[in-house]
Amino acid sequence: MNQSETNLENEPRRAPPPPPPVEKTEPKENFFREILRFSIIALLIVLPVRVFIAQPFIVSGASMEPTFENGEYLIIDELSYRFEPPKRGEVVIFRYPKDPSKFFIKRIIGLPDETVELRGSKVIIHNQELPGGFTIEEPYLPTNVKREDYLTTTLRDNEYFVLGDNRGASSDSRIWGTLPAENITGRAIVRLLPITRISVFPGDATNATAL
């Protein structure tokens, strides 16, 4: 055996290095990390719903009384009108044509290509199916408020005629003209507040019959 081999055998064996210390994550760090992750997921879910599907709306004013009172909290369906047009009798929220920064709530009375005739307290609709006209029944109007209006308006293929239920206190198509379809944001789908008046499709009168 040579000298180099003898020296190797006589050298003491070195213990393996200890494993690196395990980093301990504080419970508080885990908590805040989970909160952050939950918040991001919630935003990814809520924001598209808020922007493209539904949004809140608070009624301001008396133009839709007694159907909607001042301060009531509504949820607006923004999706349905992407697939089908508004119907007569539906309550819609839209951007005011004279100032798009403001939102109004009114009821659809006249549809595209129809002629709307206001004759005293009657609303008469002339269309292709009934060119002689028919008077619509309006059970949602307050019984203690009477208003006489005389006006005839013919709508184009992208226009609607809207009125407030409280005709004596409403700024609507009688005053500022027709409503372009592109200004309509959506329809009232849920009334959340006040709790005593919670309802789905509040004020919907699409089943109202013609006289």
The set of catalytic residues is 63, 106
User: Tokens 């013919």 identify what position?
Assistant: 154
Residue 106 has what pLDDT? 95
- Domain ranges for the chain, please list them: 53-111+157-200
Top-confidence residue, 45 or 190: 190
Q: What is the pTM of this model?
A: 0.70
**What are phi and psi for residue 104, nearest 5 degrees?**
-115, 160
Q: pLDDT tens digits for 88-118?
A: 999 999 999 999 999 999 999 999 999 999 9
Mean pLDDT calculated for residue range 57-73: 88
Measured CA to CA, the distance from residue 117 to residue 47 in angstroms comes to 42
- CA–CA dist 110, 161 (Å, integer): 5
Average pLDDT, the chain: 80
Residues 6+ apart with CB under 8 A from 114: 125, 126, 127, 154, 155, 161
Beta carbons of 93 and 203 less than 8 angstroms apart: no
- Looking at residue 208, its pLDDT comes to 43
**pLDDT tens digits, 149-166:** 999 999 999 999 999 999
Q: Which CATH class is domain 53-111+157-200?
A: mainly beta
Minimal CA–CA distance to 96: which of 68, 123, 63, 125? 63
Q: pLDDT, tens digit, for every residue of 200-209?
A: 888 887 644 3
Q: Is residue 76 helix, strand or coil?
A: strand
H/E stretch holding 6 reads helix 3-10
Is the pLDDT reported for residue 143 higher than 80?
Answer: no
27: preceding bond cis by omega (within 30 degrees): no
pLDDT of residue 199: 85
Query: How confident is the model over 129-133, as a mean pLDDT?
Result: 90
